[in-house]
Copies of this chain bind each other. A is one copy, B any other.
């Protein structure tokens, strides 16, 4: 049951040959979620050996080009390669027209079903919810409407202690009820409590993607305690004013959000093209929040499954 985040692009608005615009791929148990899709993302997927057809859900945070100009190319290539499987796109409302106007101009009727799900920017809303994951928007504060995304694994049931099955002679058909939280009642009426029969569940893992935004404390509650926080850090703190003007964040501000939200680790990215050496950005974030890392194209951050401390 994997939970891996791969950075496909980490730069801000102007791409360079070394640093592509924003795109990240989240692999949750071999379900692939693409988050933002700057120009050239389809080639980044090829370069890092991902199968583009395995992506079924694409999330676009906002309509600045460095976050979506690669989408129409990806949609077209999926079509040309014979895709038949559904594709779901979660994006600001205008994107649907932009995509369909381009498909129309090339007289393309997609071979596969394409679904657009648009979202608003005022409050968090759930975009996708199934037995393994929930994805919600994180309203951000940027120069145009923009949302981040919170990916949360579904909470799993606690696990049965095998030795208890024998000890209390528990029939198989009772197991699901016990795992779901029920106690076991023996033939003589004795109640064996759920917590004695089970051990802790696997910890639900979580990832919050916050791009682009000025320093924005209202997000802290929602992202509190996530395992990985990606937060943009376009500038160093000496350009704090520029960050404020353009509604971006500094590395120090990203670190501060991570600290206040008590996250597991922070990944910063969306670097201004002015920075050739990224170490000062990392150092600035780490000075506030030690477990800070740089988003580097091609690098993968994996969350190994852990368990809540066993209180049973």
Residues of A within 8 A of B (CB): 13-17, 39-40, 42-43, 46-47, 63-65, 69-70, 72-73, 76-77, 80-81, 92, 94-95, 97-98, 101-102, 104-107, 143-144
Contact = CB atoms under 8 A, between A and B. Distances in A.
A50 B312 CA distance: 66
Nearest to A102: B98
B65 A76 contact: yes
Given A17-B43, A40-B40, 15 more contacts: A13-B77, A13-B80, A14-B80, A14-B81, A39-B39, A39-B40, A40-B43, A63-B106, A65-B76, A69-B69, A69-B76, A69-B102, A92-B105, A97-B101, A98-B98
B65 A106 contact: yes
A232 to B, nearest CB: 16
A2 B72 CA distance: 36
B106 A46 contact: no
A39 B101 contact: no
B39 A15 contact: no
Nearest to A21: B73
B39 A144 contact: no
A63 B105 contact: yes
A94 B105 contact: yes
B98 A46 contact: no
Contacts of A95: 105
A95 B101 CA distance: 10
